[in-house]
């Protein structure tokens, strides 16, 4: 459960920071949004370091969580309801994340 919450926080920090940059560049919003965007992206990078496994494995697994959270963001923030194909893709990505993160491993 702690791993899932850490992945969720990591994804929200990355998506939030990227969205703020998008709002500035594509949405015509204030350049001041770059300050919280930079802070959010720095938080994202720091949160990645808190995961208790090898960095490459964390990055690979995080991709699946990112896809699912990005679709939730699409719905909650952008007001676009994900299609059943979006949801199927998210389920497949989360299944891949679970295999990568939670597969039994030999110590050594």
This prediction's pTM = 0.82
Instruction: Check if the beta carbon of residue 70 is closer than 8 Å to that of residue 19.
Output: no
55-76 helix and 2-25 helix, angle to the nearest 10 degrees: 60
Reported residue count of the chain is: 108
In tens digits, the chain (108 residues) has pLDDT values of: 788 899 899 999 999 999 999 999 999 999 999 999 999 999 999 998 998 777 888 888 889 999 999 999 999 999 999 999 999 999 999 999 899 888 888 765
Would you state the structure tokens that stand for residue 28, as one six-digit string? 């015509």
CB-count burial class (<10 Å; 0-12, 13-18, 19+) for 43? middle
């Amino acid at each position: 459960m702690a791993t899932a919450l850490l992945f969720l926080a990591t994804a929200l920090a990355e998506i939030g920071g990227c969205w703020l940059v998008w709002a500035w560049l594509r949405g015509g919003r204030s350049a001041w949004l770059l300050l919280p965007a930079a802070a959010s992206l720095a938080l994202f990078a720091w949160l990645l370091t808190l995961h208790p496994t090898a960095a490459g494995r964390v990055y690979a697994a995080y991709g699946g969580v990112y896809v699912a959270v990005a679709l939730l963001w699409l719905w909650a923030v952008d007001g676009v309801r994900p299609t059943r194909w979006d949801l199927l893709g998210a389920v497949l990505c989360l299944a891949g994340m679970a295999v990568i993160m939670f597969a039994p491993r030999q110590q050594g």
